[in-house]
Amino acid sequence: MSSFHEQQRTYFDCGLTLSYDARMAVLHQFDQVLRFYEDRIVAALYQDFQKSEFESFTTEFALLYEEIHRAKKNLKKWMRPKRVRTNWINWPASSAVLREPLGVNLIIGAWNYPVLLLLQPAVSALAAGNTAVLKPSENAPAVADVLEQMINTNFDPGHLVVVQGDAKATGELLSLKWDHIFYTGSTQVGKIVYQAAAKHLTPVTLELGGKSPAIISQSANLALTAKRLIWGKFLNAGQTCVAPDYVLVHQSVREAFLQACTLELKRNNYAHGERHYCQIINERHFDRLMGLIDSEKIFFGGVHDRSQRFIGPTIMVDVTLDDAVMKEEIFGPILPVMTYDKIDDAVALIKKLEKPLAAYVFSDNKKEYQKVLSQLSFGGGAVNDVVMHLSNPYLPFGGVGHSGIGAYHGAHGMDCFSHKKSILYKKNWFEAPLKYPPLGKKKLQWIKRIMK
Ligand code: NAD
């Protein structure tokens, strides 16, 4: 394990990743290799948790191809020094910000989108001129095997390599001195990563989770709200970091909203064994999720089958903050619904919990949704939609506080894996005498007059 780390250090120090040509070449290679392995990865996603070809392409590959395409298209522009203004104290001079790669990176992925969450940051790392060791999640083992084969047979391990391992092995990787650690996963493990990084003062990007709320106001278009919300909640069987975790609906439209959700769920027909509805990743998570369901509060669903790791879409009502389902991030196909009377009450309730990765507000009332946006702190989100904000590469994607540190996607990914180096280019044809001895009163008066 540490041999890859040393190999990458040498590779990086030799400057092999720096040039535009080297970066373009590795991105092009990445694109080709991914296309070649696409079918095998889709099969592995099905093997790990019966993820359908449709969901695999739309939620993993489409975003990844887009990221590679965007990086290749913009690389020249992103690498260019960014000229900035120079203040008059430094005259005569010019100034620019240079982006330098951080160096040798450790990228740790999560199981829920095991391809995208490992490879999307890798694309940004390579575009920014870095090397990277990729650690896939052991909870999606078939995907991890194919990714290991795909990367390790097609790239120089000094540049890009996959290293597999469980929590213990990840701990060993974390003990090494990296230039940057990019971690996606739970907040609990995020703290372990942060502590390990602190030992070497290594910068981190932590892409964590949390309980992302969806507020449904009385002004919302309920049919469309239900359509978008149900799609985003039950995508990947609810195992999505930015899925709406729970709903706060205005009490006056509670019944109509629940009816609209029921219609939408029946229309979607997420029946047992339906090929477009994936499994819960493992028995541990199945049991954890079943423990969150209070059967007396089920409004819709509750159907389950442990042998198939299947939990059908489930809506719970009359939920309070004291229910088990509100005590942790659900990360599965259970949607608790609570009501509110005034928008301030909804905001106050959300504020009792940690800052979420996402928040959503369905409302046609601008004043109302602006109030929510200005009063709540969260990673990112949408007005009248869910999840889709992460598919817009112009928006930085990341959390705040308990939901994470840092952001990526598109140019923000390039930023995430670069250091912005500030340079002042001083001219030699003039030097103001003001700062040099003799430092008399007159000089100070001059300086005071100028600076005030
Ligand atoms: P996971 O179990 O796959 O763990 C993630 C990674 O952490 C794995 O590579 C694993 O090997 C490593 N790991 C686990 N325990 C460790 C330990 N003790 N020490 C060191 N490394 C360890 O995934 P998970 O944590 O169950 O992921 C689910 C969480 O991730 C949810 O909270 C979800 O919201 C969050 N998530 C966030 C994003 C995002 O982009 N912000 C995306 C997906 C998931």
In this predicted model, what pLDDT tens digit does every residue of 364-413 receive, in sequence order? Answer: 999 999 999 999 999 999 999 999 999 999 999 999 999 999 999 999 99
* E strand segments, 290-333: 298-300, 304-305, 310-311, 314-316
What pLDDT shows up at residue 269? 74
User: Ligand 1 pocket check: which of 119, 135, 137, 395 to mutate, most ligand atoms within 8 Å of Cβ?
Assistant: 137
The preferred substitution site among 48, 49, 64, 112 for testing ligand 1, maximizing ligand atoms within 8 Å of CB, is 112
Q: Residue 326 Cα, ligand 1 centroid: separation in angstroms?
A: 20
CA-CA-CA-CA torsion for 232, 120, 61, 151, nearest 10 degrees?
Answer: -140
pLDDT for residue 452: 81
60 catalytic residue (yes or no): no
450 pLDDT band, cuts 50/70/90, is confident
Instruction: Kindly state the percentage of the chain with pLDDT values over 70.
Output: 99
The conformational region for residue 353 under phi > 0 = left, psi -120 to 50 = alpha, else beta, is beta
CB 237 within 8 A of CB 433: no
Closest ligand 1 atom, CA of 241? 34
Radius of gyration of the chain (CA): 25
64 in contact with ligand 1, CB cutoff 6 A: no
Protein residue closest via CA to atom 1 of ligand 1: 110
Atom of ligand 1 nearest to the CA of 174: 20
Which among 365, 427, 403 has a CA at the least distance from the CA of 221?
A: 365
State whether the beta carbon of 170 lies less than 6 angstroms from ligand 1.
yes
Mutate to test the pocket of ligand 1, among 60, 172, 241 (most ligand atoms within 8 A of CB): 241
Does ligand 1 come within 6 angstroms of the Cβ of 167? yes
Ligand 1: does its nearest atom lie under 6 Å from the Cβ of 329? yes
Q: How many CA atoms lie less than 13 Å away from 229 in the CB half-sphere?
A: 36
Q: Is the CB of 205 under 6 A from ligand 1?
A: no
pLDDT for residue 1 is more than 80 = no
> Would you say residue 273 has pLDDT above 60?
no
Any atom of ligand 1 within 6 Å of the Cβ of 363: no
Position in ligand 1 atom list of the atom nearest CA 207? 41
Q: Which two tokens stand for residue 119?
A: 């490879």
What's the confidence (pLDDT) of residue 138?
A: 97
Instruction: State the distance from the centre of ligand 1 to the C-alpha of 141, rounded, in angstroms.
Output: 14
What are the tens digits of pLDDT across the range 329-371? 999 999 999 999 999 999 999 999 999 999 999 999 999 999 9
Backbone angles phi, psi at 209, to 5 degrees: -125, -145
Poorest-pLDDT segment among 33-37, 164-168, 265-269, 353-357: 265-269
Average pLDDT over residues 318-332: 97
207 classed as catalytic = yes
- Whether 315 has a pLDDT exceeding 80, the answer reads yes
pLDDT at res. 431: 94
Catalytic entry in 38, 55, 60, 241: 241
Q: Is the CB of 208 under 6 A from ligand 1?
A: yes
- Going by alpha carbons, the residue nearest to atom 6 of ligand 1 is 110
Tell me if the bond preceding 92 is cis, omega within 30° of 0. Answer: yes
Please tell me whether residue 187 adopts helix, strand or coil conformation. Answer: helix
Q: At 361, list the tokens.
A: 């507000």
